[in-house]
Amino acid sequence: MKITKKALASLAGPTALALVAVFIPTNTVFAQSGLQGGVDAANPGNVPTDLFGGSDSIFNTIVNLLLFLIGAVSVIMLIFGGIRYTISGGDAGNVTAAKNTIMYAIIGLVVAFLAFAIVNWVLGALI
């Protein structure tokens, strides 16, 4: 059985949707109905207003979100590289490309973890 790029692409969409569904937090505000539910959904009360101060700052929230996205993309690419390695069929070019994908995905994870640590250390030192 030969797996083509088209077959892998058709698996990528449902896999991405499944990952998004797993990582989206549930919120009880959306379960409410009526006018008060709409007001609570529009203003949940935990919106950060401080730019750099504390762990609930806007800067910290944006940086953590971006680092999470980088980490998620790295994990997805690691899985993709593993699939490419598995279906390479012993072809030297495909094996090398798959190994490079895995290596760069691991480097991306390490950079994301180091960036998270450095940003939190700098914000802790400034505050």
pLDDT 10s digits, 50-65? 666 666 677 777 887 8
Specify whether 109 is located in the same domain as 59: yes
* Number of Cβ atoms within 10 Å of the Cβ of 105: 20
Per DSSP, 30 falls in state G
Specify whether 63 is located in the same domain as 110: yes
Angle, to 10 degrees, between the axis of helix 58-86 and the axis of helix 92-126? 160
Name the residue with higher pLDDT: 123 or 39.
Answer: 123
Entry pTM = 0.55
Specify whether 31 is located in the same domain as 70: no
pLDDT at 7 over 90: no
CA atoms 97, 4, 79, 72: torsion sign? positive
Specify whether 77 is located in the same domain as 105: yes
Q: Sorting pLDDT into bands at 50, 70 and 90, what band is 67?
A: confident
Q: Sorting pLDDT into bands at 50, 70 and 90, what band is 116?
A: confident
Give me the domain span that covers residue 11: 1-47
Specify whether 43 is located in the same domain as 98: no
Per DSSP, 29 falls in state G
pLDDT at 35 over 50: yes
